[in-house]
Amino acid sequence: MTDVLRRGRASLALSFFAQGVAFALLVTRIPAIQDRYGVSDALLPVFLAAVPILAGVGSVATERLVKRIPPSRVLRWSQPVVLLALLGVGAGERMVEMGVALAAFGLAVGALDASMNMLGVSLQRAYGRSIMLSFHAAYSLGGIVGASLAWVGAHWDLALFVSYLPVVVVLLPVALVGSRWYVDGGGGDEVVPEAAGERGPVVFKMLLPLCLVMTFAYIGDSTVSNWSAKYLQDVLGSSEQLATVPYNVYMVTTLVGRAIGDFGVRRFGAVVVVRGGALVAAAGFAVVASAPGAWVGMLGFTLVGVGLCVLVPQTFAAAGRLFPGASDVAVARLNVFNYVGFLIGSPLVGALGDAWSYRRAMLVPMVLVLVTLGYARSFAAQPDRYGDGHERPRTADVGRGSNGL
């Protein structure tokens, strides 16, 4: 394995980590943001929905951008925008300033998520073995760090700007320096000549199962992140303090599962890992729906984390295998369904919970995750792609490093 690949992997993992920190600092301080700008409960969902919608726009724009410039360059400049937009959210005083900062955050996050996963897919192809889960493990670690820093800020009643500034001061220069070693793997769109109208519909048809898996995974993820605390407190009768535990445990299990998940893919193959993850996640939601008390409910959410954590990284990796010469386009399109699932999940569970019951509402993400089993074959290695199983014995040509741009 060349030093170029090792540096590229380390620098990309750092970007995933920084993104995890930034996103966690935003979403875990939403109540403080609401108080700072005087956003009403009725208006808050509009702002919250706007971020993933704009992120989807940013992901689509990235698909166009990478036809002209390498993904490493998109990532190099979108990450500082995300960090500065986070700081802008904490620095503003009027609602319009918050709106501008959140809009910049959303657009840049879409470009950042798409370009990070483009580079991750191409690096995995260069390595010839599963490493995608390790990048998402770095993201989970960043989320835990960000959530912990947010807790410190809330505990000490720090102003948002004061809470965000040290993080941005540290991460911004580190990310810029690390971007020198990004590696582009040549996942352009030359294999899919959509301009000639030849394979565009075929590509979407082949990508659709992965898009559905991505959507279902994020519906499950948003269910945990948005409803676990309320479910434990209102349905299972836990204390307010105990109700904060499931999401933290969920993040920790996500980190652990992703940290070891690549070994499972190398040993058993992506299809087995995806099927196992879907079954464990579905079992977790079933435990949550039938839990007699808070501790059993927390066990259920823990199982959900163990199962869901492998689905998203493997979905990106599968897109790279399906379209080895058009992986950038495939990843950008697939990434949009990340935000679709995020937008659908929380309102869906909330509406079903109010109209039906929250216990029964938890069965909906369970069923959707089980649907993933029907698409598991889409995660199989293709014999004309890399390897006839799930490994490749030697490293491929990595393309170009970002220093040569």
Q: For residue 239, what pLDDT band results from cuts at 50, 70 and 90?
A: confident
* Whole-prediction pTM: 0.87
Write out the CATH class of domain 198-390: mainly alpha
Residues 85-124: pLDDT tens digits? 999 999 999 999 999 999 999 999 999 999 999 999 999 9
Residue 188 confidence (pLDDT):
52
Residue 355: CB atoms within 10 A of its CB come to 9
- How, if at all, do strands 183-184 and 400-401 pair? antiparallel
Is 193:203 a contact under the CB 8 Å cutoff?
no
| Structural contact between residues 87 and 100, judged by C-beta atoms closer than 8 angstroms | no
Rg (CA), the chain: 20
What is d(CA 190, CA 187) in angstroms, rounded to the nearest whole number?
Answer: 9
1-181 matches 198-390 in fold: yes
Each residue's pLDDT tens digit, 278-319: 999 999 999 999 999 999 999 999 999 999 999 999 999 999
For residue 202, the model assigns a pLDDT of: 35
Res 106: pLDDT: 96
Instruction: Summarize the confidence of residues 240-254 as an average pLDDT.
Output: 81
Domain chopping of the chain, boundaries: 1-181, 198-390
3-state secondary structure of 176: helix
pLDDT at 388 over 70: no
The CATH classification of domain 1-181, taken from the options 3.20.20.100, 1.20.1250.20, 3.40.50.300, 1.10.10.10: 1.20.1250.20
